[in-house]
Amino acid sequence: MWVEVLVPDFQGSHAAVETVMEAGPEVFNHNTETVPRLYRQVRLERATSGRWTCWRMRAKWRRRVPRIGCDVGLGERDDEVVEVMRDLRAHSVGILTLGQYLRPSPKHLP
């Protein structure tokens, strides 16, 4: 049996990532949410699109399988999605999940 954790960006806290890594999950999952051009529009809080790279690198270093999730349906172009996929591949992301965006509340993008 494998244990997978889905983590937030922890607002850049390396200590928080280390705490999760010490628990020993086999899969380290983080959602990048969307393509870089739309990131600030989609993520209302202070998260940044570049932080996933840090988590992926630390997860790989600790011999965990890095998994990244990305939503589509927010106005991204095909070439932007392909570029995200290439970037993730270049960073040895082991699993990519693409999901259809569904508006979670009226305060979120339609």
pLDDT single digits (tens) 20-36: 888 888 888 888 788 88
Consecutive H or E run containing 5: strand 4-7
> Distance (Å, rounded) from C-alpha 106 to C-alpha 57?
35
Contact in structure between 92 and 57 (CB atoms under 8 Å): no
Query: Does residue 109 form part of some domain?
Result: no
Structural domain count, the chain: 1
Query: Does residue 107 form part of some domain?
Result: no
> Distance (Å, rounded) from C-alpha 71 to C-alpha 34?
5
pTM: 0.75
Q: What is the phi/psi pair of residue 97, to 5°?
A: -115, 130
Query: Does residue 108 form part of some domain?
Result: no
pLDDT value, residue 57: 57
Query: Does residue 90 form part of some domain?
Result: yes
Residue 52 vs residue 66, higher pLDDT: 66
Of 81, 87, 83, whose CA–CA distance to 99 is shortest? 81
What is the span of the domain harbouring residue 30? Answer: 4-100
